[in-house]
Structure 1
Amino acid sequence: LLTIAGGKLTGYRKMAEKVVDMVARDLGQAGRSFKPCNTDKIPYSGGDFGGSDKMPAFVEDRAQRGVKLGLAEEDARRLARRYGTNVDVVFNLLASGRDRAEAYGLRPDVYAELAYGLRHEMVATPSDFFIRRTGALYFDIDWVKENQDAVIRYMAAACGWSEEETERHARELEARVMEATVVEEADTGLPAGIVGA
């Protein structure tokens, strides 16, 4: 049994490399042969630019494609940065889903991210979308508040939720929004209701 603790998401590959190399070495001493870890040769999903120096040009090119699809330039650029080389899939979902987006009151960029998340990132709940897939709950709370009802409506239909399930997910997201925005007096010494930075 090997146990590894600590670290951050940004260092998970290095941690994995150390563990795999250690296991390969130990098994090698037991007479079995394994190659060392090759995680540094595997491109990240959406990160196959052919080198990080090519990313800015890629983002600009794809941002222009997003604008041609009707997105605001800022939204198109944000999607290109967030999804990298996977943004073409996101844009294709946008192009084929305009009617669905409109039917649920979703902005085109939000629809594209949500559809991509449901199909390719295993988004399970509205909180999952706003916390783990977009990070918006922590970095753009106004965007969450603006889009949460439409996201819930769309996910309820797409996932076949009952009214009870839909309400449960809505309450859970609302609780996460409140946790992210209201700072308790006991925690900071500030009056309750002050928005956290």
Structure 2
Amino acid sequence: MDLFDFSPREIKDLVVSVLVITLIFSYPNLSIFNILVGLFAVGLGFVCHELMHRFVARKYNAYSEFVAWYEGLLIALILKLILGFTFIAPGAVYIYKDYLTVEEEGIISLAGPLTNIALAIGFIILAKIIPVLINIGIYGALINIWLAGFNMLPIPPFDGSKVLRWNPLIWAVVAIPLFIFMVFPGLLFRFIF
């Protein structure tokens, strides 16, 4: 199964999801700069998260494809525009295989949040080595910590519920620091700057 075999629908769903998510995270400051930063930081985090689920599932010989949830994107957009509240459920990678073990499902689910953690570290490094990009680095790191932490919630259908079912210790080692950094984002940067 080719890891880079995308259907036209999947490409369309990924593009539409990235554009709507970028708009939501950039609003109300819809300058060209903020939209470009959003595309880079938010779009990269979202796409890499979903594609990593897809790639790992395909390594287990499961067909997988991202499918947008257009109603969820519309609800998220309305919540942001009317209430100023950000809650996004853009869609998911659907996995098709006769049988996935609890371990396979847990590893596939963990792949997305771990990708966001790696991206957060990359954004922190970017902020440290190129000071003029410090705001982009901090924004990208915070967004990716938030994406990882939100997805590690131990509530179905989030990734965290599948990781917890597979291995509670791994869930705790990954999720608890993420939750702490989500509640106290300043702690993340105290270790770095």
Q: TM-score, normalised by structure 2?
A: 0.26
When Rg is computed on C-alpha atoms for both structures, the one with the higher figure is 1
* TM score, norm. by length of structure 1: 0.26
**Higher RCO (C-alpha 8 Å, min separation 6):** 2
